Amino acid sequence: MADEELLLRRLERERTARKAAEALLEEKSRELYLANEQLRLARDTAQASERLKTEFLANMSHEIRTPMTAILGYTELLTDPDLGSGGFADCLETIRQNGEHLLTIINDILDLSKIEAGKMTIERIACSLVELVAQVAALMRVRALRKGLAFTVEYVEPIPARVQVDPTRLRQILLNLLGNAIKFTEAGDVRLRVSLVDDEGQQGLLRFEVTDTGVGIAPEAQARLFQPFAQGDASTTRRFGGTGLGLTITSRLVEMLGGTIVLASAPGQGSTFTVTIDPGPLDQAHMLRAPFEVRPARAASASSAPPVRLDGRVLVAEDGPDNQRLISFYLRKAGAEVVLAENGEVACTRVWEAECAGQPFAVVLMDMQMPVRDGYEATATLRRAGYRRPIVALTAHAMGGDREKCLAAGCDDFLSKPMSREVLVGMVARFAAAGVPADALPPGACHR
């Protein structure tokens, strides 16, 4: 009997151990299955992300190469001796338009990079809501009329006369949404509706509704419309073009302005993008009962505004021959005497020579990326030696922190390439007019 009891106990222990082993095996199998599922999901996500990025890069390559093809091709046409004056003007206009399109693509890429890196900043200043909308509408109405589309702006009164927003970013949001509406609409109209809505009993929110009668967006495409590197539909992209960055940037800017963006659309039935943003404190705001109570300011045309004139010497430190010629032309046309320096080392030498000869430069334009000695080092060297006259940075870098880096090196201001003639001449005129003290150099500097 004792032997049988021992045998039964051993069998029971073995059965218990086997069940425990089976349970452990089942648990490990379940864990392995879940791990495999997670790996599969991660792989699928990575593959989908890689596919989106590949498609985005292919589309971006197309978007960049298309205007570049026109720019290079029409530039070559300008050398054709049989090209008449009318053809010459058409070529120049085509080059200008494609250059602006290329710059828009570059700006979109930089904006998204700044947002993703957390470098995009938002400011809130008081501005006229009606004037801001009028400025946007003036640009978009011309584009709509070219396509034969009706363009209307509707105000739901009352609306605040002035709001506390970032006007540059709000303008960018409206331009992106209205630009897309016009782009994807072949017949019918585009409408912008502006209103003030309650925020669950709290202070009102500013609402903008952009409605079109365009191609519309399928439900499955709407889910990925605001994602980076994603576009609604490949066939639509091929048909209308675009990088797919505009709505991503728009949605991020809306969030930074304390608001939301919502899409209502169906294929063939048009789309409505509704944006709400925080307009700032409204307790003391004057409310307009009709939009005509505020008249949009009429900007002076380039032809009516008197040209800015420069008087004095300007040092242009720039290593690129093409940029040297272009910047020199702008400044000399405005009346300045221009001296060139091909690198930072030469720039420092030119500055000291001019000071000691009694012919100082009113402004130094300093390219920040140059051989031998770059603009950062050259500027810092001049400042350490006591040079106090204006130095303005010129750079093709336009990422977050670049301006601060230039100012930290000792520059007085910052110009990002490409810059327009008006901005360049205006900047030089502002610093030249400000002047500097007579003791711009430390005593004995000319006897170094």
- The pLDDT tens digits of the residues spanning 363-394 come to 999 998 888 999 999 999 999 999 999 999 98
> In this structure, is residue 7 part of a structural domain?
no
> In this structure, is residue 19 part of a structural domain?
no
> In this structure, is residue 256 part of a structural domain?
yes
Task: Give the residue among 104, 91, 70 at the shortest CA–CA distance from 183.
Answer: 104
- The pLDDT tens digits of the residues spanning 394-407 come to 887 655 567 788 89
Window from 113-127, 291-305, 344-358, 402-416 with minimum mean pLDDT: 291-305
Residue 269 shares a structural domain with residue 351: no
Amino acid, res. 122:
I
Residue 111 shares a structural domain with residue 132: no
Residue 430 shares a structural domain with residue 339: yes
Query: pLDDT at position 301, please?
Result: 44
Residue 88 shares a structural domain with residue 160: no
- The pLDDT tens digits of the residues spanning 273-296 come to 999 998 988 877 788 876 554 444
> In this structure, is residue 12 part of a structural domain?
no
Model pTM greater than 0.85? no
Query: pLDDT at position 383, please?
Result: 94
In terms of pLDDT, which residue wins out, 445 or 27?
27
Q: Which residue has the tokens 């140059």?
A: 370
Q: Indicate which CATH number applies to the domain containing 341.
A: 3.40.50.2300
Cα-based distances in Å from 383 to 28, 313, 406, 438: 68, 19, 13, 16
The gap between the terminal CA atoms of the chain, to the nearest Å, is 115
CB-based contacts of 324, cutoff 8 Å, min separation 6: 316, 318, 340, 342
CB atoms near residue 304 (< 10 Å): 7
For residues 312 and 181, the answer to whether their CB atoms sit within 8 Å is no
**340 has a pLDDT exceeding 60:** yes
Window from 238-247, 283-292, 312-321 with minimum mean pLDDT: 238-247
Mean pLDDT of the chain: 81
Pairwise CA distance, residues 220 & 305, whole Å = 51
> In this structure, is residue 298 part of a structural domain?
no
**238 has a pLDDT exceeding 50:** no
Element (H, E) at 291: none
**433 has a pLDDT exceeding 80:** yes
Residue 271 shares a structural domain with residue 356: no
Q: Indicate which CATH number applies to the domain containing 71.
A: 1.10.287.130
Beta-bridged to residue 13, according to DSSP, are none
Beta-bridged to residue 367, according to DSSP, are 394
Amino acid, res. 59:
N
Q: Indicate which CATH number applies to the domain containing 166.
A: 3.30.565.10
Of the residues 64, 93, 116, the one at which a domain ends:
116
**221 has a pLDDT exceeding 60:** yes
In terms of pLDDT, which residue wins out, 47 or 359?
359
> In this structure, is residue 16 part of a structural domain?
no
Of the residues 83, 116, 149, the one at which a domain ends:
116
Instruction: Indicate the DSSP class of residue 438.
Output: S
Amino acid, res. 98:
N
Of the residues 97, 116, 135, the one at which a domain ends:
116
> In this structure, is residue 285 part of a structural domain?
yes
CB atoms near residue 19 (< 10 Å): 10
For residues 366 and 316, the answer to whether their CB atoms sit within 8 Å is no
Residue 404 shares a structural domain with residue 318: yes
Query: pLDDT at position 295, please?
Result: 44
Window from 50-54, 114-118, 361-365 with minimum mean pLDDT: 50-54
**57 has a pLDDT exceeding 60:** yes
- The pLDDT tens digits of the residues spanning 173-186 come to 998 899 889 988 99
Token pair, residue 380, equals 């810092």
Residue 285 shares a structural domain with residue 333: no
For residues 212 and 188, the answer to whether their CB atoms sit within 8 Å is yes
Residue 107 shares a structural domain with residue 131: no
For residues 111 and 250, the answer to whether their CB atoms sit within 8 Å is no
Residue 94 shares a structural domain with residue 151: no
> In this structure, is residue 17 part of a structural domain?
no
Q: What is the 3-state secondary structure (H, E, C) of 225-282?
A: CCCCCCCCCHHHHHHHCCCCCHHHHHHHHHHHCCCEEEEEECCCCCEEEEEEECCCCC
Full domain range(s) for residue 208: 125-293
Q: Percentages helix, strand, coil for the chain, rounded to the nearest 5?
A: 50, 15, 30
Task: Give the residue among 232, 233, 235, 184 at the shortest CA–CA distance from 212.
Answer: 184
Query: pLDDT at position 384, please?
Result: 93
Residue 32 shares a structural domain with residue 88: yes
> How many domains, in total, are found in the chain?
3
Residue 227 shares a structural domain with residue 317: no
Residue 261 shares a structural domain with residue 187: yes
